[in-house]
Amino acid sequence: MKVEFELNGTRVGADVEARTTLADCIRDQLKQTGTHLACEHGVCGACTVLMNGQAVRSCLILAVQAQGERVVTVEGLSRDESLTPLQAAFRKHHALQCGFCTPGFITTAHALLTEEPEADEERIRDVLSGNLCRCTGYVPIIQAVLEARSAYAHKGNEE
Amino acid sequence: MRIANSYIGQPIERTEDLRFLRGRGTYVADINRPRQLTAVILRSSIAHGRLNGIDASRALQLPGVHRILTAKDFDTEIPRIALRLQPLSDLEPFHQPMIADQKVRYVGEPVAVVVAETAAIAEDALDYIAVDIEPLPVFVSREQADAALLFEQHGTNCAITWKALRGDADAAFKMAEYVRRERFKVQRHAAMFMEPRGFVADWDGQKLTVWGAAKTAWYNRRLLAASLRLPIEAVDLVEVDVGGGFGSRGEFYPEDYLIPAAAKVIGRPVKWNEDRREHMIAANHAREVECEVEIAATRHGRVLGLRGQIWSDVGAYVRTNGSVGPRNVAQYMSGPYAIENIELTSSMLLTNKTPTGTYRGPGRFETDFIRERMLDLVAKDLNIDRLELRRRNLVADRQMPYPLASITPYDSSTELDSGDYHAVFDRCLAEFDWKTKEQFSGRLIDGYYHGLAVGSFIEGGAAGPKEQARLVLEPDGTLSVYLGSSSVGQGLETIMAQIAADATEVPYEKIRVLHGSTSHVKEGYGSYHSRATVMGGSAILLAAEKLKQSIKASAAKRLGCAAEEVVLDGEQARGGNRSIAFAELIEVPIEIEAEFFNNKQTWAYGTHAAHVAVDPGTGHVKVLDYMAVEDVGRTINPATLHGQAIGSIVQGLGGAFLEHLVYDENGQLLTGSFADYLLPTASDFPKIRSLTVDLKPCPNNPLGAKGGGEGGIIPIGGIMANAVADALKHLNVQPMELPLSPPRVWALVEAAKAQLAS
């Protein structure tokens, strides 16, 4: 069946089976491979994308559920060659090693700080506890997100 | 003139991050080839049985299914996976076949490969394949004795027994004033890197190219070529971005053969990516040991000897590096302490579970749990302060180099190369502020009992025999560094560029690091045993020296002076009173190769201290503070090093508290998802501190560096168990088994209360 939605600012369409997940549709058919699959059962958060600004697990959403919606993946967060303040903070604090879980952390943290730019450390840890990272031990990720808060302070609900 | 490069020692931001942060990395699941088909693997759902037949006829009728391959389709005789490390002939009977051909020995063992248009179709087909397996009795724990034999001809489920020897343990125990014997257990858990394994294999009729290599591409290439009866030049393994390794990824698994072989049989590119459940039953497990060990000491707490028997559950086959853990647990039990008399045996026990291999700090995590627990028991029994006890036993600087126990049957001797163990011990206590925190030991505050613990460890690195580097300086002044080292996510491109920049004086931005693919150098070794920085980095230094000599020689001719008079600054050569730019001097690329040989391990070392709080009502343990200090000889990039240290510590805390691969009596894995197998999350262990010092450069390599990628994980089991014991000392709770899960700690508390009441 046909599905159409907005992906990183562009109208896209795909011909999918009813059972095709949004993650597989984005990766295999729309060739945006920044969204990663690490568990495919909704626990690790690596596949997190933004749907209408909300962080969702694209391995648990069917592609057809995205019909008419606005989807943003990690590729859609930085529009030019530079890093966003959140991405730059990750780099500065060495908040990634192998990089595989990173897109999910970036999208999750982006959604959190967009809605709650003043989130405190406990809140950040609580929200990010839905994403698994095996390399960093999370300490530098939390530092990076804390530092990136200032960039979201008066930005409003922009993606 | 330019200022000399000094990148080594700086927390340089990583080159890799620019692509990873924007979703532009290329992992193996992102690779696709024209006309590609997708494979899924049918795995045994029975832990032990005779494979009588497979009927795939119904599955083949599904539209989109191309082939279903079983053992007979691959070869007349199915190749076995040879051991990469400690390749003892006594272990040959236990090598895993690439696909089950007669028996299945664990749940998850491959029995067929379905190749279809899409993964979804291939997965549908799995349900239509009828597998006839005649079940056999299952052997999953040592208590069952040899109730079922995995390899009938062998007559026992014990593969081999390692023996670590030093001095005369029996004599030491005979004369010792104090002896204590204890049993310990460490649970089965695993590396559990985030990116599932995968391959894309493409056979063009003459050449086989396989994307998805990691860790040890050159060894795997040799084994793959031999298994497919191809000349080695006909096989290329390509390393793309790799989502974590920790010892497990990159070893040669059945799929390393099955996917390329399927591509060759079918004549079309074949792609395979495992899912998480599959990963949990297919990729190496680790760490499952139990032991009965004795410690002997003088009444002043000077440890005289270690003696005992260890059993390592290695699962159904002995895989590529399956001996490393069982060997290490015996050979390195003395750790950083001067223990002169050792007699420890470590038996590799074959069971109907997923085979095992190395996981960060293999054998060391386990053995440090055992040793550090025993040291605290000695301190308690002899009424000696536990800090003082450790100070009395740490190897002293003047004792270096200090030989460790020898090991058989695959002999290897090693000695601690250098270090000021006492200085790092005291530094850790100072950074941790032990003096102030000591008052919390055993205290009940707001419903939590507080406990402290400290432990020291050694971390072996830089396995030989060698590593290769190839430098290519282009006429435009860019330098390409080709390496046998591989990246598993540790920041290799950045670290190696730092080393190359300092060694060649080429500007950092003009250096490109290419690694891990078999086309890069003739014979690489890869990244394991904390070896990449030392081995690959030292090879770069040697190559850089040759490169500079070559440039100086050609510059001398142009400048009309002697080569010794030429000075290079990375962009130009000066000599006499003239100078010449590289761009003018270098007309064709200059290519230099070098090899660094090493037969001595590096020995980083450190001390960790922790403060925990135990809820006696639930058994939950909070880690309030964790301080790690390690001496790695020479730090290349403190940011990446601390990153690895902290990440390693949190992995270790996972192993100490959460992670457990649980099997039932039928050999079924009960914890096959992330909902059942708990990894640490962002809210579990917020306060972890790491400090690295460069006190004692390694005397055995030109960098002076020591491998430091694993250290963080090594002492954690022992430290956490000791901290829990300290918190609950009023009850004399003594944990002898990991993980320290809430139910286990709660049960210990309840048992101790009952004991006190009776």
Chain segment A32-71, per-residue pLDDT in tens: 999 999 999 999 999 999 999 999 999 999 999 999 999 9
Q: What is the pLDDT of residue B337?
A: 98
Q: What is the pLDDT of residue A80?
A: 80
Q: What is the pLDDT of residue A159?
A: 46
Rounded CA gap, B524 and B380, in Å? 50
B chain contacts of residue A124, beta-carbon cutoff 8 Å: 682
Of A55, A76, A97, the residue that ends a domain is A76
Interstrand relation of B110-116 and B37-43 (parallel, antiparallel or unpaired): antiparallel
Measured between CA atoms, the residue of chain B closest to residue A141 is B682
Any domain includes A39: yes
Interstrand relation of B158-166 and B406-408 (parallel, antiparallel or unpaired): antiparallel
Rounded CA gap, B13 and B150, in Å? 51
Tokens of B6: 């000094």
At A101-119, the pLDDT tens digits run 999 999 999 999 999 999 9
pLDDT band at B31 (very low <50, low <70, confident <90, very high): very high
Q: Which residue has the tokens 């500079």?
A: B548
Q: What is the CATH number of the domain that holds B499?
A: 3.30.365.10
B739: Cβ contacts below 8 Å, ≥ 6 apart? B187, B189, B655, B656, B657, B658, B659, B660
Minimal CA separation from A82 to chain B, in Å: 9
Is B193's CB within 8 Å of A134's CB? yes
Using a CB–CB cutoff of 8 Å, tell me whether B29 touches chain A. yes
Q: What is the CATH number of the domain that holds A7?
A: 3.10.20.30
Is A135's CB within 8 Å of B244's CB? yes
Of A29, A59, A76, the residue that ends a domain is A76
Of B478, B472, B511, the C-alpha closest to B492 is B511
Any domain includes B313: no
Number of domains observed in the structure of chain A: 2
Of A41, A90, A129, which has the smallest distance from its Cβ to B681's Cβ? A129
Residue B284, pLDDT > 50, answer yes
Q: What is the pLDDT of residue B406?
A: 97
Is B479 found in the same domain as B440? Answer: no
Rounded CA gap, B221 and B563, in Å? 41
**Which residue has better confidence, B457 or B1?**
B457
Q: What is the pLDDT of residue A81?
A: 83
Range in B92-106, B540-554, B574-588 with the lowest mean pLDDT? B574-588
Query: A-B interface: how many C-beta pairs under 8 angstroms?
Result: 181
Is B749 found in the same domain as B635? Answer: yes
Any domain includes B396: no
Is B721 found in the same domain as B653? Answer: yes
Any domain includes B325: no
Any domain includes B302: no
Any domain includes A145: yes
HSE, CB side, 13 Å, CA atoms: give it for residue A79.
5
Rounded CA gap, B10 and B482, in Å? 22
Any domain includes A157: no
Measured between CA atoms, the residue of chain B closest to residue A46 is B194
Is B202 found in the same domain as B55? Answer: yes
Minimal CA separation from B134 to chain A, in Å: 32
Any domain includes A140: yes
First to last CA, chain B: 82
Is A102 found in the same domain as A145? Answer: yes
Minimal CA separation from B177 to chain A, in Å: 43
At B644-669, the pLDDT tens digits run 999 999 999 999 999 999 999 999 99
At B712-721, the pLDDT tens digits run 999 999 999 9
Q: What is the pLDDT of residue B1?
A: 56
A chain contacts of residue B191, beta-carbon cutoff 8 Å: 134
Mean per-residue pLDDT, B298-327: 98
Number of domains observed in the structure of chain B: 3
Is A92 found in the same domain as A70? Answer: no
Is B685's CB within 8 Å of A138's CB? yes
Mean per-residue pLDDT, B377-406: 98
Q: Is B428 helix (H, G, I), strand (E, B) or coil?
A: helix
Of A43, A76, A109, the residue that ends a domain is A76
pLDDT band at A150 (very low <50, low <70, confident <90, very high): very high
Is B248 found in the same domain as B259? Answer: yes
Kindly report the CA angle at B643 between A36 and B437, in degrees rounded to 5? 130
Residue B705, pLDDT > 50, answer yes
Domain hosting B75: range is 28-138+191-282
Is B132 found in the same domain as B258? Answer: yes
pLDDT band at A155 (very low <50, low <70, confident <90, very high): low
Domain hosting A113: range is 85-152
Q: What is the pLDDT of residue B429?
A: 98
A chain contacts of residue B241, beta-carbon cutoff 8 Å: 98-99
Mean per-residue pLDDT, B670-676: 97
A chain contacts of residue B124, beta-carbon cutoff 8 Å: none
Q: What is the CATH number of the domain that holds A130?
A: 1.10.150.120
Is A135's CB within 8 Å of B640's CB? no
Is B472 found in the same domain as B454? Answer: no
Is A71 found in the same domain as A105? Answer: no
Is A110 found in the same domain as A55? Answer: no
Is A69 found in the same domain as A29? Answer: yes
Of B597, B620, B639, the residue that ends a domain is B597
At B243-276, the pLDDT tens digits run 999 999 999 999 999 999 999 999 999 999 999 9
Rounded CA gap, B608 and B454, in Å? 6
Q: What is the CATH number of the domain that holds B131?
A: 3.90.1170.50
Is A94's CB within 8 Å of B640's CB? yes
At B404-445, the pLDDT tens digits run 999 999 988 899 999 999 999 999 999 999 999 999 999 999
Determine what percent of chain B is predicted with pLDDT higher than 70.
100
Q: What is the pLDDT of residue B219?
A: 97
Using a CB–CB cutoff of 8 Å, tell me whether B22 touches chain A. yes
Any domain includes B522: yes
HSE, CB side, 13 Å, CA atoms: give it for residue B390.
27
The pLDDT mean for chain B works out to 96
Any domain includes B255: yes
